[in-house]
Amino acid sequence: MRALDQITAISFMNLRNLWQRFWSSLVVVVGVAGVVAVLVSVLAMASGFQSTVAGTGRADRAIILRGAANSELESGMSRSAAVTLSDGPGIKKDSDGRPIASAELLVMVNLPKKGQTDAANVALRGVGEAVFALRPEMQIVEGRAFQPSVYEAIVGKSAHAQFQGLEIGNRINIRGTEWTVVGVFTSNGDTHESEIMADAESIASAYRRPGFQAMSVMLESPEAFDALKAWVSSNPTLGLDVRREPDYYASQSRQLSQVLFFIAYFVGGIMAVGALFGALNTMYSAVAARTVEIATLRAIGFGSASVMVSVLLEALLLALAGGAVGALLAWLFFNGNAVSTLGANFTQLVFPLTVSGPVLTTGILWALAVGALGGLLPAARAARLPVAVALQVR
């Protein structure tokens, strides 16, 4: 009998007898399911965070900051510099010949989350009149856009869902002035959906700010970035730096993403060790209970390699079942759920947990690794079992 036929025959026999080892087999399935569920849920958080931040950047947009600044909160820009930058090369102009650029301010306001009393930082972004041309992905879905030079604001969909007091018509007290919420906007699920936006000049007046913090510009094309950067760099009096928007937001997400991935693999690794010992114990018990059966198969001509592979396949099958259960639970309970965390600008960033295909694949691969390691030694023991000794056990 060929080796493949032997493996198939023994494997089907093992599967038919699984119900006799139901509870011990369930230990492996539950243990691996726990590993995969935890791993996938944390990786979904990291994946959702990265997708939200990365989705904010476009190749044909650039952000201009103070030279040594790592984020908008650390940056500063004079009004004269903002005017000068608007005439920079490579900046796209609208149909009226005006540059599509927005000199912006970023300040923090404290608002409680829905169902809570403790306040959290929410970003209030002051933007220019060209904000909708600059960010065409922004769409008003409720209400209307704010009017310039008036204390009106629009709120991102995520902020609207997470924080109290952001319903249309509500008033937000900011620096002793009442700002009316007049609209809700979406922005393809990016970081701006976690913000409140209003007229930059009105915010500058309320906060007594003489200048701005950054400027975002629409480029004529992604290739126009180099010309704009060279022009800004050639003017040392500006003291500013031009960055591609995707690069800027990638740098903002890097640190927290690394922490989340570390937590996922560290906690998942610890749990995987526990599941591994559970698999080892279960498979050793299964081999011990089938000593005579294995010896009989060997005596009638089944090869040791076929026995070994069949035991390993059983362990992999149990681990795969556990991995599928864990992945399904993680997808059912976590996928799409919105959570918030402190972002790079010390503001609450709202983002969805994303149980994507790569995340699920990673979880299943971990399950199979646990099954392979948990079944390898028992399978080797079954293959090396002396036939004469095994037949004398009973």
Listed range (49-63, 230-244, 324-338) with the worst mean pLDDT: 49-63
Q: What is the residue whose two structure tokens read 């900051």?
A: 65
**Per-residue pLDDT for 346 more than 60?**
no
Give the separation between CA 165 and CA 169, rounded to whole angstroms.
Answer: 9
Listed range (96-105, 121-130, 253-262, 289-298) with the worst mean pLDDT: 289-298
**Per-residue pLDDT for 126 more than 60?**
yes
pLDDT at residue 110, rounded to an integer: 86
**Per-residue pLDDT for 379 more than 80?**
no
pLDDT at residue 8, rounded to an integer: 67
- Average pLDDT across the chain, whole number: 82
Q: How far is CA 392 from CA 19, 291, 296, 380, in A?
A: 26, 10, 11, 20
Most confident of 221-230, 243-252, 364-373: 221-230
pLDDT digits (tens, 9 = 90+) for 151-196: 999 999 989 988 898 999 999 888 888 999 999 999 988 889 989 9
| Residues in the chain, overall count | 394
Q: Which residue has the higher pLDDT, 281 or 219?
A: 219
Mean pLDDT calculated for residue range 347-364:
82
Q: Quickly count: other Cβ atoms within 10 Å of residue 197's Cβ.
A: 26
Give the separation between CA 153 and CA 126, rounded to whole angstroms.
Answer: 9
Do 371 and 318 form a contact (C-beta atoms < 8 A)?
yes
Do 257 and 46 form a contact (C-beta atoms < 8 A)?
yes
- Residue 156, both tokens: 């991102």
Amino acid (1-letter code) at residue 41? S
pLDDT digits (tens, 9 = 90+) for 38-71: 888 888 888 877 777 767 788 999 999 998 888 8
> Does pTM surpass 0.85?
no
What confidence tier does 136 reach under pLDDT thresholds 50, 70, 90?
very high
pLDDT at residue 80, rounded to an integer: 92
Q: How far is CA 194 from CA 94, 215, 220, in A?
A: 27, 19, 28
pLDDT at residue 152, rounded to an integer: 95
Domain boundaries, the chain: 3-54+253-391, 61-220
Listed range (180-184, 251-255, 290-294, 375-379) with the worst mean pLDDT: 290-294
What confidence tier does 394 reach under pLDDT thresholds 50, 70, 90?
very low
**Per-residue pLDDT for 390 more than 60?**
no
Three-point CA angle 366, 350, 127, nearest 5°: 140
Closest CA to 2 of 380, 382, 306, 383: 306
